Amino acid sequence: MDSTKTKKAVAEHDREQLPWEMIEEILSHVPPISLVRFRTVCKRWNALVNDNTFINNHKLTFRFILTTMSKIYSVSIDPKITVCELTLDIPGIESQIKDLVNDCNELLLCCTEQ
């Protein structure tokens, strides 16, 4: 593989990566047994899973998803209700989401136009 193809492949890989905040948010809703396995993905995930703040926040996962025509909300029911809007910081994704197919443990399955 020549250097231009390598650079292009690396650039595409970097562009497809999710923002770290989104990865943290996703992992905060993963069941504990899976989190133990996910520690082996990379050093950064291992450090996150072992972080005391992350562990304490993970214990407060009595949540559900609330959707409207234009927004997606994560609602916490422990012991006070807090609502936070889940931003999809992926350029152009809002216009591509055709339907929210299902949600489970705050993981969303969306259908796009393509």
Q: Is the dihedral of CA 96, 105, 56, 17 positive or negative?
A: negative
Residue 31, pLDDT score? 75
pTM exceeds 0.95, yes or no: no
**Domain ranges across the chain:** 1-61
pLDDT < 50 regions, the chain: none
| Interval 24-36: pLDDT, tens | 888 887 777 788 8
Q: Confirm if 27 and 35 have CB atoms less than 8 A apart.
A: yes
Residue 57, pLDDT score? 75
Query: Closest Cα partner for 95 from 73, 74, 75, 110?
Result: 110
